Structure 1
Amino acid sequence: MTIGATYLGDDRCDFSLWGPTLDQVTLEILTPEPQSHPLGQDDWGYWRTSLDNIPPGTRYQYRLNGDRLRPDPMSRFQPEGVHGPSAVVNQGDFSWQDEAWRGIPLEESIIYELHIGTFTAAGTFEAAISRLADLKALGITTIEIMPVAQFPGDRNWGYDGAYPFAVQNSYGGPDGLRSLVNAAHQAGLAVILDVVYNHFGPEGNYSRDFGPYFTDNYQTPWGGAINFDDAYSHGVRQFVIENALYWLREYHFDGLRLDAIHAIYDGGAKHILAELSDRLTQFNQTATYPRYLIAESDLNDVRIIRPRPDHGLGMDAQWSDDFHHSLHTLLTGEQQGYYEDFGSCQQLATAWRESFVYRWTYSPHRKRFHGSDTRDRPPSQFVICSQNHDQVGNRMLGERLSQLVSFDGLKLAAAATLLNPGIPLLFMGEEYGEDSPFLYFIDHQDADLVEAVRQGRKREFEAFHASGTPPDAASLETLKTSTLKWHKRDSGHHQILLNFYQYLIQRRNTNPAITTGDRQQIQTQYNNESRWFSVHQSQANHSIWAIFNFGETLIQSPPAPNQTWTKTLDSSESIWQGFGPTAPQTLKGSESIKIPPLTVVLYENS
């Protein structure tokens, strides 16, 4: 089933609108010649018609019950913003040049999360293309783009999207996005899109006027919950599934990152994500390369990634907040909010070995038991990071790790992320220690909503006992402040850190022990008091032994595993702007070494 305005060629277009509770719908063609077309409704609540003389770019709206004039909730493009008319898009007029592209296996992925509006000074899809070669040279395999569904104004994180099918006009619209994906594939990079199926943005979304897109049975942190299990939910489910497949089919995305699925509420016998997984399986059977679904969730629920035959939701991977929190608290010492559940080397060891720290164990912050056992799932189903848009941008001042820890601490964060057997994710700019913040910003046209955002963020940070006033989210200067300063990567400690990241990725790609898929081949040791952690990993005839000193004093390592080892990385060496190494170049089993403060040392055997 096609929904929305589907251009068929030769200036012919199908229009399909879901509105099961409407009594009357008229399609109003605004350009090039004004026309009115009453629509007929089928048994499933869809209003449809096919028209000639509708060229690409035709502006249109719907008149509902003879009164309200509204854009299409399934619009492919909103050239005049969220309140303007919708436009017909010819999805077949783009000259794709990625016929030879066959994707990147998920377990081989190194993801780079970026926000189009702050990734470059121009803030467009076209400008992002100019930086793909830099990401490829770094060793990135996959870029993950924060949401680009049409939002109010010109600047936003993207989670206020009002038209899930429409590509943001200020970024370059449909052609700009297709050009970016096409160029990425030609450069050998996969592309994942961040999509939001737990809520709609607060401004410009008129879906309530068309039908029961929302349910009062649940509430999300961002307002009303989307209706996946109440009356008329079949049309909403179809809307979401078609949207997901639309991005994969029409824009050639390699996968989708599903935002905050813990706020996708569905009490039905078949969860919407299970249905989406089933449909993706069907899609992949005829696709030239596999597409993936990656879930963001704070539930620590392994059922999310269990296969459908094993009664799981069938997601291919999910984010592991526990790894981030364990690493962040060791590096910064922060203990506010949910960080109170973390802070020990033991927890980092658990997160490294098991992906989750809380596996039906008691969480002091939640004041309840939390999480599930991951031992039946491989590490390559868990995305881990030291920074991401949420963990940076939801701080009052948007500080990155570069503003919170020393240069040596940044090297520890890089090594912990890239030597881990999970799927590493880097947040744009972290590879060279970008020190500009990543702040929260909006461009709502509703003055009352802007003020509500300002007051809401003040209350949010007061709850975290943060002093001061958050930067004005509605200010253009807030966006500019958050934009990457690419020139920094070419000199000083920024360049050294960039080289450090690049070298770590080379080691990851060279030694299969780093990406071992067997949890039984991961052994960890730690000392909470001395603040060190070590890990020994094996895969076939390859092994690594890494020792992390998170403390401020010299430590004595545990005995080396019983092999002959060669040192391949030492963050205390002068090439990495360290204060001088103490660990020998070669090492035999059972020998112990001294590790300077805030240092990581990697030994390999093959």
Structure 2
Amino acid sequence: MFGPSFLSENEVEFILWAPYQEKVTLRLNEEKYDMEKDEKGYFRITVNAKEGDKYSFIIDKGEIPDPASRYQPDGVHGRSQLVSLKYEWKSREVKIKPEDLIIYELHIGTFTQEGTFYSAVEKLDYLVDLGVTAIEIMPVHQFPGKKDWGYDGVYLYAVQNTYGGPYAFMKFIDEAHQRGLAVILDVVYNHVGPEGNYMMFLGPYFSQKYKTPWGLTFNFDDAYSDEVRKFILDNVRYWFEVFHIDGLRLDAVHAIYDFSPKHILQDIAELSHSLGKFVIAESDLNDPKIIDDKCGYKIDAQWVDDFHHSVHAYLTGERNSYYSDFGTLDDIVKAFKDVFVYDGKYSNFRKKTHGAPVGNLNACKFVVYIQDHDQVGNRGNGDRLSTLVDKQSYMIASALYLLSPFIPMIFMGEEYYERNPFLFFSDFSDPNLIKGVREGRLRENGQEIDPQSDEAFLKSKLSWNIDKEILEYYRTLIKIRKEFSNKCSRRIKVDKGDKWLVIGLEKIFLLVAFSDTELTSRHSGELLFSSSDFPKNIVSSKEIRVKKGIGIYKYSI
């Protein structure tokens, strides 16, 4: 792999890909060693070294950390530190079928007051009791400063120092596995953060043809791209083999540009599958090619923003920005039946036709949610759904996605009605970057609280002020899902009326009343659970009166 490798307890090989450089010197503690360069631009040297030693590389621009560093104890500008990453695992990796995935997305820095892996371990039993089966962790590779969402990371192999570093992460994963929880890591291969990025001085790591709004994008298809692809694929292997991660979530794959005969996403998917692992993608393209196993990139599943937008816009009445394309019950119906609301349909917001039909792809190819870090955090005030709608609407939204045939994802705190915001926060040291972030978040998102401030970060921490009714409601929904799951089937019947839906799944059906109303169901069943006043039994074609809420019924035999 790229970076340092322990050949023995006291012998380390250092590898740096730096074709732009004619000479590179390794500085290990206070000793200096000239490295040898090969025809592909790799510099190598093997020297006596041990765990804890600090090192850096001296190039024509000065002294820099290792871009493939395994640990940055002093941050993105500090020297790298050797860690052997030897850990006594007490658990085995967790294998979970797609139909059994119930994901819980969390941010280590705000999940607990301490904001570390060690403190997060103390919440694992709570997550087991909730009923989730997998934890998705927002990016943990080293970012500037002490607080960040993680998408400004610059050292793909180094675990964030303020979270506890690599061994603390291993401990967290091991403890999760002992409890039967899979761990999914959010990784960013579409760009590298703007501060602490020294790779641009070493070689053509980044594309000269494509740009992203967030930073330089990797060179996956131009000259020297073979080595860049290896750098990323080695990183995929690293998380799976060294840290025993069970799956990856790939950030914003629509910003991964690659016109090679074989897309890097397909390479990532195939490598992951060869190791018995899975991959989930975030994409706003509404393009089934990403998850198609026959003629696509073979990614296992992808996030579906359309489901979120349909439910959110209808319940909140918001019509700004991309919500202008949504807001009717028909959108929710289409999301259940066809997954993408925009599947080759003209989008007024985008001013073009958007998306393509998913065909017969099964439901477990799609991850749905009513909140996530983006949909909450990219609001100016970081508003959670709990502060935007009444409690019955909140419970309706929760049941719609948790009992859908798709893979559900809970955003941390949602399950107990957290009301603290989740704001955007960062900790850059470059004055120009700080100015740009402040002005950009205010202009584009309306965020008035300074993202660089401690206030933005501290306000975003979970309060753990638990609403017991909502927490018990989520536990119940998850139990019902586990017992009556559609098992990836998209065989769904949906009836729609004025402010009501009846959603027929394989073993259960949902009566959804968005206000006190009368409705007629074509299904007969016995009440399993309801959020308000619903009859204990439903007879097909008989009119009933219900209060605003949701009723979950088991089909009558």
For the criterion TM > 0.5, the same-fold answer is yes
Farther-moved stretch of structure 1 (8-17 vs 169-178): 8-17
Query: Is 2:43 the counterpart of 1:11?
Result: no
Moved more, 475-484 or 155-164: 475-484
Deviations 1:549-606 (A, max 9, x none): 22x4x22223332xx410112111xxxxxxxx1x321222322322223x11111126
**Pick aligned residue for 2:529 from 569, 591, 594:** 569
2:50 corresponds to 1:88: no
> How far, CA to CA, are the matches of 1:218 and 1:203 in structure 2?
19
Question: Helix, strand or coil for the counterpart of 2:208?
Answer: strand
Partner of 2:203: 211
TM-score normalised to the size of structure 2? 0.98
Match of 1:556 in 2: 518
- Equivalent-residue separation in structure 1 for 2:95 and 2:380 (angstroms): 38
Q: Provide the rounded CA distance (Å) in 2 between the counterparts of 1:224 and 1:172.
A: 27
* Counterpart for residue 370 of structure 1: 354
Q: Is the 8 A contact 1:107 1:381 kept in 2?
A: no
CA–CA separation in structure 1 for the residues paired with 2:181 and 2:543: 41
Q: Is the 8 A contact 1:7 1:56 kept in 2?
A: no
SS at match of 2:268: helix
Tell me by how many angstroms 1:58 deviates: 1.1
1:88 counterpart letter in structure 2? L
Q: Which AA in structure 1 matches 2:41?
A: G
Q: Which amino acid aligns with 1:436?
A: N
Deviation string, structure 1 residues 82-127 (Cα, Å, up to 9, x no partner): 00001111122x111113x442212211100000000000000000
- 1:472 aligns to what? 450
The answer to whether the Cα contact below 8 Å between 2:193 and 2:215 also exists between their aligned partners in 1 is no
Residues 69-468 of structure 1: pairs in structure 2 closer than 5 A: 69-92=63-86, 94-99=87-92, 101-284=93-276, 291-307=277-293, 310-461=294-445
Which residue of 502, 508, 512 maps to 2:481?
508
- C-alpha deviations, 1:373-412, integer Å up to 9, x for none? 1132101110000000000000000000011011111111
Structure 2: distance between partners of 1:107 and 1:26: 51
The CA distance in 1 between the partners of 2:333 and 2:291, in whole Å, is 22
The question of whether the paired residues in 2 share the 8 Å contact of 1:197 and 1:264 is answered with yes
The structure 2 residue matched to 1:483, chosen from 461, 479, 498, is: 461
Is there any run of 5+ residues in structure 2 with no aligned partner, and where?
Answer: none
Which position in structure 2 is the counterpart of 1:575? none
- 1:61 is matched with 56
Q: How far apart, in 2, do the equivalents of 1:241 and 1:453 lie?
A: 31
What is the letter of the counterpart of residue 5 of structure 2?
T
Residue aligned with 2:207, SS: strand
Say if 1:43 and 1:278 are closer, same or farther in 2 by CA, change over 3 A.
Answer: farther
Query: Is contact 1:262-1:299 (8 Å) kept?
Result: yes
- Aligned equivalent of 1:287: none
Please tell me the residue identity of whatever aligns with 1:266: D
Match of 1:498?
471
* Aligned partner letter, 1:350: K
Mapped to 2, the partners of 1:475 and 1:505 lie a distance apart of 37
Task: Out of 137-146 and 270-279, give the one that drifted further.
Answer: 270-279
Equivalent position SS for 2:520:
coil
Partner SS state of residue 543, structure 2: coil
Deviation at 1:10, TM superposition (A): 2.0
Please report how far the alpha carbon of residue 451 of structure 1 lies from its aligned counterpart in structure 2 after TM superposition. 1.6
Cα shift at 1:297: 0.2
The CA distance in 2 between the partners of 1:429 and 1:271, in whole Å, is 36
- Write the letter of the residue equivalent to 2:287: D
1:603 aligns with 2:538: no
Gaps of 5+ in 1: 285-290, 573-580
CA shift digits 1:472-521 (9 cap, x unpaired): 111112111111111x11xxxx1100000000001011113xx24232x2
Question: 1:25 maps to what in 2?
Answer: 24
Name the CA distance, whole Å, in 2 between partners of 1:517 and 1:453: 41
CA distance in 2, matches of 1:319, 1:96: 31
What is the CA–CA distance in structure 1 between the aligned matches of 2:2 and 2:226, rounded to whole Å?
A: 14
Map Cα deviations across residues 514-566 of structure 1 (whole Å, 9 max, x no partner): x24232x2111223xx222221111xxxx21112122x4x22223332xx410
- Aligned residue for 2:4, secondary structure, equals strand
Indicate whether 1:522 and 2:487 are aligned. Answer: no
Equivalent-residue separation in structure 2 for 1:254 and 1:225 (angstroms): 26
> Does 2:538 align with 1:587?
yes
User: Deviations for 1:113-161, whole angstroms, at most 9, x for unmatched residues?
Assistant: 0000000000000000000001110101111000000001111000000
Report the secondary structure of 1:256's partner residue.
Answer: strand
Normalized against structure 1, the TM-score is what?
0.90
Checking the alignment, whether the CA contact within 8 Å between 2:94 and 2:182 is kept in structure 1 is no
Residue 216 of structure 2: SS of its match in structure 1?
A: strand
Aligned length: 556
Q: Distance in 1 between matches of 2:100 and 2:543?
A: 33
Counterpart code for 2:295: H
CA distance in 2, matches of 1:139, 1:193: 19
| Overall identity of the aligned pairs, in % | 43
How far did 1:335 drift? Answer: 0.4
Deviation, 1:8, is 2.5
2:511 pairs with one of 542, 547, 566: 547
1:21 deviates by 2.3
**Which residue in the other structure is 2:38 paired with?**
42
Q: How far 1:212 sits from its partner (Å)?
A: 0.9
Distance 2:91 2:207 in 1: 41
Given that residues 6 and 88 in structure 1 are in contact (C-alpha distance below 8 angstroms), is that contact kept between their aligned partners in structure 2?
no
